[in-house]
Each structure stands twice: as structure tokens, then as C-alpha cells.
């Protein structure tokens, strides 16, 4: 196999492949038509839409994972569509978002029929005797193509790549049989990514439903009582109590920013946990800061212990919480993270699940929103009302919800790995560094 280089780049590709601009592909009849929606006076207004008619697609209709989502799409009646000159996408057309949200790609499914495009979406109608739909869709998502998009957007003040600019961009075209084989391989990875995403969504829905049920009705109860809870009546098991968080905590407090700020952070030492490290699904320590033993000694009042609950109390992430795992033997927190250290009557995992639930988040945001202060105060946190099952039941609820959360996290990590795999495969397959057998 001979290799040739693409001019103005270091990219190498097989000699029998071609590199053409989109405009050249149109001239050679690889692409029959390129068009976006109607501009100016013909662009539909709010009064023009209806409950019936053709689906109207905008950039928001195309998802990051290459799907066309029409759940919230508006429709245009046929009478209005007769006024339009352009912008009619047909099933099988490649859709490309080119304005505001640039670079999302999808193939219009058969079941949606002919659709009307807004001005933020381009359709490509292909000659499938020369070029594979699936391959062309992947080529528009490739690192090679995205680099060209980024160069165009870098040179302008707006995130847009109109059709005239798209026409000057290049794509790499293998033989038709290789296109089809490459598309098959990448499509299989896409299916795995999509199925994993669906499992994550189902798990999240299940988790939310279970949290609401378990944190108000418990496990196996048949007798309930009504109590006032933040101005409303709430039905909970007879054995449960309602108490203030402060009555069940031996410490509620945060740390400080070390003297010298970020200049004193180290690459090794004692982890300084900040708000960006605290997430509902655990501590994320990729960018954790470290402090010296001496600074940790100065901040000894905010040292963490295993099983402390950590709650973000300032900024956009107010309310995010998790607990200190056994893997963090020593740690400290800054002023944006509150330590809640519990007495033995409250289970750490239970409290984290409670504060993460709709009930807990509602209590947190009720205290924080609408007031002109920088964050939650310790006195407010002490007054949070919590539902208190017997300790054994807390243990069961906390462990069960933590397990579900862990399963969801594993699926999320798998999806990220698959997306990384797809990106690597695209880089290799779409440039011919790895050749497929045909």
C-alpha cells in the first residue's frame, strides 16, 4: 500500500483513497444536494406552527449521540409548507448542525418522514452508489473534520459554519466497500454507547423512584403516621422520627483557604478537598490540591475523618454531597466544603442519600436560594430536618441506594470508555492507519 500526504497537513492516507472538499464531492455527484432552512421572511414564526403537519427540526433536535429527538419539536401545517422554497429534509439525509451548536450529526430516520429544517441545520443528500451514508456521517464527526471546523470558528466571533464555509472543508473518502466496512464497525460501537446510555437513564429513573419511596416509606412498613414537615403533612412509618441534623452531629464546620492560596499547593502531601472534588457519586480527586504537613497542622480543626459527610455550602455546586471513603486516611477541607460528623445513631450512607434526594435538596435550596449571602451557614445546616428510621433500617437503605449509585457510576465510566474507544477508532480507521479487510 502506497501512502500519500495531504497538502498543508501531516496527515497520511492510502494512495487509492481520495481527499476532496465537500464542494468537489458535489461537483462529482457524490453529493446531490446541500441545503439548510428558509431565512428571512420565510422563516416560520410562533403563530405559524401547529399540532399537525411536518416536523420542524432545529439544532436542538439533534442530540450529542447522533439521534434525532422530535419529542419537543414543533410542526408546520402543509399549507404553510407550500410557501417554502427550500429546507425539506428527506429520510436518509445527513443532518449537520452548523449554528450555535456546531458539529452534531445524525441521519434522518424513515419514521419521521419529510421534515422542515430551521436555519441552524444543514442536510446532505448523498448518492449512495458512490458514498455510504453512515460513513459520511462518521467522517463529519472525525477529528480531521472537527479540526477544520475549529479553525473556521476560531477565525470568527460566532459559533457558526454556514454552507459556503462547509463547502470548502475536506473529507477523506476510501473505496465504497471500505466505507461500508468502516461504518459497520463504528456503528456497532455506537450501538453499545447508546444501549449503555439507555441503561444509565433507566438506572437513574429507578434510583430516583426508589430514593423517594425508601426515604419516606421505608422497608416493609404497614402502619404510618402524618407529621408536619416544612409546612406540609408527610406520611412516614410509625417507628420513624423527625429530628434536627444538629442534634445528631458532633461536628458541623468547614475549613479555610491556606495562607498564600493556590501558591502553597503541592503535588503531593495531604489532600485539600474543595467543592470541585465533592460530587453526588463520590469524591473526584483528579485535580485535588495537596498541602504540607505544616499547613495541615495549622488547619487541624478541618481535618476529615473516614465516613464524614461532606457538603458543598457555596457557589453553583451548593448541596452536592458525599462521604469520606476509607481510602482517604488523611484529608482536609477548605471554606467551601462543610464537614458533618455524625453520632452513632445516624448512618453516613443514609444521610448522604437523604441529602442527595429530592427531599434533601429541597431543604438545602429552600435555605440557600433567594437570600443575599454567599452560602449556607452552619446554624442553618444544624436546623435541617431529617427523617430518622431505626438504625438497622438506615443501614439497609443507605447500603442499597449506595449500591445502585455505584452501578450507575460503573455504567457511566463504561460509556466514557466506549466513547474514547470510538474516537480512537475513528482516528485510525478514517485515515487508513488501520485498514479493514473487504
Cell of 236: 412516614
- Going by pLDDT thresholds of 50, 70 and 90, the confidence category of residue 369 is low
What fold does the segment set 3-173 form as a domain?
Adenine-n6-DNA-methyltransferase TaqI; Chain A, domain 2 (3.90.220)
List the one residue out of 4, 10, 8, 19 whose CA is nearest residue 430.
19
CB-based burial of residue 158 (10 Å sphere; 0-12 exposed, 13-18 middle, 19+ buried)?
exposed
Question: What digits encode the pLDDT tens for the residues 376-398?
Answer: 999 999 999 999 999 999 999 99
pLDDT over 60 at 370, yes or no: no
Positive or negative CA dihedral for 162, 164, 168, 173?
Answer: positive
Q: Which three cell numbers stand for residue 36?
A: 439548510
What is the spatial distance between Cα 108 and Cα 134, in angstroms, rounded to a whole number? 11
Which fold does the domain 175-220+392-433 belong to in CATH?
Helix Hairpins (1.10.287)
Helical (H) or strand (E) element with 254? strand 249-254
Superfamily name with CATH number, domain 241-388: DNA methylase specificity domains (3.90.220.20)
What DSSP string describes 87-149? -EE-TTPEEEEEESEEEEEEEPPGGG-SEEE-TTEEEEEE-TTTS-HHHHHHHTTSHHHHHHH
Provide the pLDDT for residue 44: 87
Angstrom distance (rounded) from CA 19 to CA 16? 10
**Hey, where are the domains in the chain?**
3-173, 175-220+392-433, 241-388
100-139 per-position pLDDT tens digit: 889 999 999 999 999 999 999 999 999 999 999 999 999 9
Cα(14)–Cα(351) distance, integer angstroms: 59
The yes-or-no verdict on residue 10 having pLDDT over 80 is: no
C-alpha grid cell, residue 345: 445513631
Give the distance, in angstroms, between the CA of residue 321 and the centroid of all CA atoms in the same chain.
Answer: 19
What pLDDT is recorded for position 393? Answer: 96
Is pLDDT of 2 > 60? no
* Distance separating alpha carbons of residues 183 and 132, to the nearest angstrom: 8
Dihedral sign for Cα 214, 218, 219, 220, please. negative
CB atoms within 10 A of CB 331: 24
- The per-residue pLDDT for 39 is 83
Q: Cα(409)–Cα(415) distance, rounded to whole angstroms?
A: 10
| Separation of alpha carbons 148 and 160, rounded Å | 13
For 174-225, write each residue's pLDDT tens digit.
999 999 999 999 999 999 999 999 999 898 888 888 899 999 999 999 999 9
pLDDT at 240 > cutoff 70? yes
Rounded-to-10 torsion of CA 194, 196, 201, 206: 150
Between CA 334 and CA 315 the distance in angstroms is 13
- Cα separation, 291 vs 87, whole angstroms: 59
DSSP codes, 363-377: HHHHHHTTSSSSB--
Q: What is the mean pLDDT of the chain?
A: 90
Task: Give backbone dihedrals phi and psi of 306, rounded to 5 degrees, phi first.
Answer: -55, 135
Q: Which residue has the higher pLDDT, 371 or 54?
A: 54
Same fold, 3-173 and 241-388: yes
Please tell me whether residue 166 adopts helix, strand or coil conformation.
Answer: helix
**pTM for this predicted structure:** 0.76
Amino acid at each position: 500500500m502506497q501512502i500519500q500526504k495531504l497538502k498543508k497537513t501531516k496527515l497520511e492516507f492510502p494512495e487509492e483513497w481520495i481527499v476532496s472538499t465537500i464542494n468537489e464531492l458535489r461537483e462529482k455527484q457524490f453529493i446531490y444536494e446541500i441545503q439548510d432552512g428558509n431565512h428571512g421572511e420565510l422563516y416560520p414564526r410562533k403563530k405559524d406552527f401547529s399540532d399537525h403537519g411536518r416536523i420542524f427540526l432545529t439544532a436542538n433536535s439533534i442530540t450529542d449521540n447522533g439521534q434525532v429527538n422530535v419529542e419537543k419539536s414543533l410542526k408546520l401545517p402543509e399549507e404553510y409548507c407550500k410557501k417554502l422554497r427550500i429546507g425539506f429534509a428527506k429520510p436518509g439525509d445527513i443532518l449537520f448542525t452548523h449554528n450555535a451548536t456546531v458539529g452534531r450529526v445524525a441521519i434522518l430516520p424513515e419514521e419521521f418522514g419529510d421534515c422542515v429544517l430551521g436555519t441552524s441545520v444543514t442536510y446532505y443528500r448523498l448518492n449512495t452508489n458512490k458514498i455510504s451514508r453512515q460513513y459520511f456521517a462518521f467522517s463529519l464527526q472525525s477529528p480531521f473534520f472537527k479540526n477544520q471546523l475549529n479553525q473556521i470558528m476560531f477565525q470568527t466571533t460566532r459559533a457558526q459554519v454556514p454552507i459556503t464555509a462547509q463547502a470548502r472543508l475536506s473529507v477523506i473518502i476510501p473505496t465504497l466497500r471500505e466505507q461500508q466496512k468502516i461504518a459497520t464497525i463504528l456503528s456497532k460501537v455506537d450501538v453499545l454507547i447508546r444501549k449503555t446510555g439507555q441503561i444509565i437513564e433507566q438506572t437513574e429513573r429507578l434510583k430516583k423512584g426508589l430514593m423517594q419511596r425508601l426515604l419516606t416509606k421505608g422497608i416493609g412498613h404497614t402502619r404510618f403516621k402524618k407529621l408536619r414537615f416544612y409546612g406540609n403533612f408527610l406520611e412516614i412509618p410509625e417507628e420513624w422520627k423527625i429530628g434536627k441534623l444538629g442534634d445528631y452531629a458532633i461536628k458541623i464546620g468547614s475549613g479555610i483557604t491556606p495562607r498564600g492560596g493556590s501558591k502553597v499547593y503541592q503535588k503531593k502531601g495531604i489532600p485539600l478537598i474543595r467543592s470541585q472534588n465533592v460530587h453526588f457519586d463520590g469524591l473526584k480527586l483528579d485535580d485535588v490540591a495537596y498541602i504540607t504537613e505544616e499547613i495541615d497542622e495549622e488547619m487541624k480543626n478541618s481535618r476529615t475523618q473516614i465516613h464524614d459527610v461532606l457538603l458543598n455550602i457555596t457557589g453553583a455546586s451548593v448541596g452536592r454531597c458525599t462521604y469520606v471513603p476509607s481510602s482517604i486516611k488523611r484529608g482536609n477541607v477548605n471554606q467551601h466544603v462543610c464537614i458533618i460528623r455524625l453520632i452513632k445513631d445516624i448512618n453516613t450512607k443514609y444521610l448522604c442519600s437523604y441529602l442527595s434526594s429530592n427531599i434533601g435538596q429541597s431543604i438545602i435550596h429552600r435555605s440557600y436560594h433567594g437570600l443575599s449571602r454567599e452560602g449556607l451557614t452552619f446554624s442553618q445546616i444544624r436546623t435541617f430536618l431529617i427523617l430518622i428510621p431505626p438504625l438497622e433500617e438506615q443501614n439497609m437503605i443507605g447500603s442499597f441506594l449506595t449500591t445502585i449509585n455505584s452501578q450507575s457510576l460503573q455504567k457511566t465510566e463504561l460509556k466514557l470508555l466506549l466513547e474514547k474507544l470510538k474516537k480512537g477508532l475513528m482516528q485510525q480507521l478514517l485515515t487508513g492507519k488501520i485498514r479493514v479487510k473487504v
